[in-house]
Amino acid sequence: MELKAGEALFFPPGFIHETLNVGDTCSSSVTYQFTDPAPTLYWRHFMTRVRRTGDLSECWKGIERLATLGKRLPLPGDNAYEQGLAHAIELDLNNDGLIGEEELQRAVQGHWLEALSFHDPDGNMELTITEFAKDYLKYAAIKGRVATERPIEGGRSRAAEDEDDDADDDDLSDDL
């Protein structure tokens, strides 16, 4: 897309883009990072890319807090699903099989709606303990895979070249 003098273009939160000045005159770009609302659906759908995108490194800590609901990630070889399930059961104070608003509030220091959005694949505004356990496993697997990659020319990881990785990211609970 080519903009003319006086025009502007808005990119939604987390939208990865590149710009090029094609004219002889000066141009400028202004970036303002809005923190609310957090682009949790974007992070969820493109988790493999997000964890490999250095420009989003300032988001990784917050993403991890949402993805794990404050639980430390398992060590390699540990059963991430079982650990995620155990954490979800701990969070489910009323034993209804759901991690509700108050329980999410405690887990993510007030960012309950972002956490629910991140973990709610069916959009029913409920987070079951098994939904969380599957997401916890998927996040642990992605983070573990990215941690073992070596950068190639241009700073990208080898697996970032593999577009197939993102096919699984439409739903973090697929293939589990």
Instruction: Annotate the chain with DSSP letters as a single string.
Output: --PPTT------TT--------SSS----------SS--HHHHHHTHHHHTT-GGGGGGHHHHHHHHHTTPPPPPTTS-HHHHHHHHHHHH-TT-SSB--HHHHHHHTTT-HHHHHHHH-TT-SS--BHHHHHHHHHHHHHHHHHHHT--B-GGG-BTGGG-GGGGGGGGSTTTT-
Residue 45 lies in a domain: yes
Q: Is residue 22 part of a domain?
A: no
Total number of domains constituting the chain: 1
Residue 93 is predicted with a pLDDT of: 96
Give a yes or no: residue 35 inside a domain: no
Q: Quick check: is 60 in a domain?
A: yes
- Quick check: is 93 in a domain? yes
Give the model's pLDDT for residue 169. 46
Instruction: Look up residue 55 and give its two tokens.
Output: 């420009």
Query: What range does the domain containing 117 cover?
Result: 40-170
Instruction: Tell me, yes or no, whether 82 lies in a domain.
Output: yes
25: in domain: no
Q: pTM for this one?
A: 0.70
Rounded CA separation 135/171 (Å): 9
Q: To 10 degrees, what angle do helices 129-147 and 112-119 make?
A: 80
pLDDT tens track of the chain, all 176 residues?
A: 888 888 888 877 557 777 788 878 777 777 666 666 777 887 888 888 878 877 777 788 889 999 999 999 988 789 999 999 999 999 999 999 999 999 999 999 888 999 999 998 888 999 999 999 999 999 999 988 888 887 655 554 444 444 444 444 444 444 34
Give the pLDDT score at 167: 44
* Assigned domain for 123 exists: yes
Q: What is the CATH number of the domain that holds 47?
A: 1.10.238
